[in-house]
Amino acid sequence: MADTPYLVSRLQGFGTTIFAEMSALAVATGSINLGQGFPDADGPPEVNEAAIAAIRSGHNQYPPGIGIPELRTAIAAHQAQWYGVDFDPDTEVLVTAGATEGIAAALLALCEPGDEVVTFEPYYDSYAACIALAGAHRRVVQLRTPDYSFDPSALIAAITPRTRVLLLNSPHNPTGKVFTRDELELIARLCVEHDLIAVTDEVYEHLVFDGEHQPLVTFSGMRDRTVTISSGGKTFSCTGWKIGWVCASPELTAAVRTVKQFLTYVNGGPFQYGIAAGLGLPGSVFRRVAADLEEKRDRLSAGLAAAGLSVFRSAGTYFVTVDIRSIGERDGLAFCRALPERCGVVAVPSVVFYDDHDAGRSLVRFACCKQLDVIDDAVGRLQGLTS
Ligand code: PMP
Ligand code: GLN
């Protein structure tokens, strides 16, 4: 008997996302929401002003299917300026409804039923659902605590003759890992050797504190086999706008575009102007965004450690992960469901991002993308956990 009547079998078991469950719990209990990753302050004012100006000046109808030229040009200029990769804004850039749609369209476009997609666990929840929607199968390689390294032989073993896509997320949600140059070199080499397409989710590309973001597309042999996906939501603190993009060779872009046009066709016309303005801001603005968030990461990490939790260092993203075994707890899901009652804070159990439930059972993710006084309030509440 299916869990969810009417739902196609390939999506049975996916249920409600943990983000919806935990944000609803935060609202219902009046708790501080360190679960779902969204900031509680606006980003650079130029970005919001450009979107408002676009609405006021009548840019309120369907934008072009591939995105407004101003944004596609800004995306191409951003890739060239930050990473030294040239993309043609007309044939190699596609604007999508957030990175979420870019990932879905890429997997639906590139995977035949029965193909395999290799990714790293823990993994962002939409990956599993989109792989399943495509009728493909996921093969996961584990990022192991405490440093979230992976065993190269596990990656080699995960690749089979059925593997079509390697799906990489760096900087990585939920761990905060930023893949190193050596790791990326290995991944690139394997993609070339096995003729795989890499789909990379780089939505946290500007939110790096330790190390630096190196797009996989910049590695040898990867220019024409990588679908690079990002989004303006994190960088510019506007997660509700859902303006993302895909950069890839003309052939790969055409494949992804063919699917994308039947998912949403277009989205967020005026917001596209806002993100175009944002991408053109000076580098100092991007560095400020990262520096602000780094301070928040430090404040949250120190507060979680003071509460007795074992904290893993986060090198980037909105997130910090802890192991609750240090306070005598074992089950992150039960812990997160009880946390609002116990101390008025919401977090996310990392186990939902794992196939290997034993590996993720005691791990819990907290979002650090909140104002410092909110973080202080939350960690103050958490100090009572061990008493
Ligand atoms: N990928 C990762 C790793 C994410 O954390 C998120 C959500 N924040 C997304 C994709 C989705 O991005 P968007 O909101 O642009 O659809
Ligand atoms: N990416 C956000 C997170 O990981 C949530 C986005 C969503 O709600 N799907 O918290």
pLDDT tens per residue, range 195-209: 999 999 999 999 999
Q: Residues lining ligand 1, CB < 6 A?
A: 37, 98-100, 124, 169, 173, 201, 203, 231, 233, 239, 242, 244
pLDDT tens per residue, range 44-96: 999 999 999 999 999 999 999 999 999 999 999 999 999 999 999 999 999 99
- Give buried/exposed letters for 234-255 (b at 16+ CB in 10 A, else e): bbbbbbebbbbbbbbbeebbeb
At 269, which helix (H) or strand (E)?
helix 269-279
pLDDT number for residue 1: 52
Closest CA to 333 of 28, 35, 31, 29: 35
Q: How many Å apart are CA 27 and CA 210, to the nearest integer?
A: 33
Q: Are 94 and 257 in contact (CB under 8 A)?
A: yes
3-state secondary structure of 201: strand
Q: In this structure, which residue's CA is closest to atom 1 in ligand 2? A: 37
At 319, which helix (H) or strand (E)?
strand 319-323
> Cα 357–359–365 angle (5° rounding)?
90
Q: In this structure, which residue's CA is closest to atom 3 in ligand 1? A: 173
Query: The tokens 């006084």 sit on which residue?
Result: 373
100 Cα: distance to centroid of ligand 2 (angstroms):
10
Q: How far is residue 35 CA from its own chain's centroid?
A: 14
3-state secondary structure of 100: helix
Pocket test of ligand 1: the residue of 19, 231, 314 to mutate, having most ligand atoms within 8 Å of its CB, is 231
97 Cα: distance to centroid of ligand 1 (angstroms):
11
**Which of 1-10, 153-162, 223-232, 347-356 is predicted least confidently?**
1-10
pLDDT at 16 over 90: no
Does the reported pTM lie above 0.75?
yes
Closest CA to 146 of 314, 308, 333, 316: 314
Mean pLDDT calculated for residue range 122-137: 97
CA distances from 113 to 117, 138, 208, 247 (A): 11, 12, 36, 24
pLDDT number for residue 127: 98
386 Cα: distance to centroid of ligand 1 (angstroms):
33
Which atom of ligand 2 is nearest to 36's Cα? 10
CA distances from 314 to 44, 50, 76, 191, 300 (A): 24, 33, 29, 27, 11
244 Cα: distance to centroid of ligand 1 (angstroms):
9
Pocket test of ligand 1: the residue of 126, 203, 239 to mutate, having most ligand atoms within 8 Å of its CB, is 203
Pocket test of ligand 1: the residue of 100, 267, 353 to mutate, having most ligand atoms within 8 Å of its CB, is 100
Closest CA to 261 of 61, 108, 54: 108
Burial grade of 333 (CB within 10 A; 0-12, 13-18, 19 or more): middle
- Give buried/exposed letters for 297-309 (b at 16+ CB in 10 A, else e): bebbbebbeebbb
Q: Residues lining ligand 2, CB < 6 A?
A: 17, 19, 36-37, 173
CA distances from 99 to 93, 173, 230 (A): 13, 13, 6
Q: Are 35 and 340 in contact (CB under 8 A)?
A: no
- Nearest ligand for residue 204 CA: 1
Task: Report the length, in residues, of the chain.
Answer: 387
Q: In this structure, which residue's CA is closest to atom 15 in ligand 1? A: 98
241 Cα: distance to centroid of ligand 1 (angstroms):
12
DSSP state of 149: B
Q: Are strands 93-97 and 243-247 parallel, antiparallel or unpaired?
A: antiparallel
pLDDT tens per residue, range 153-167: 999 999 999 999 999
78 Cα: distance to centroid of ligand 1 (angstroms):
19
- Tokens at 202, concatenated: 């780089």
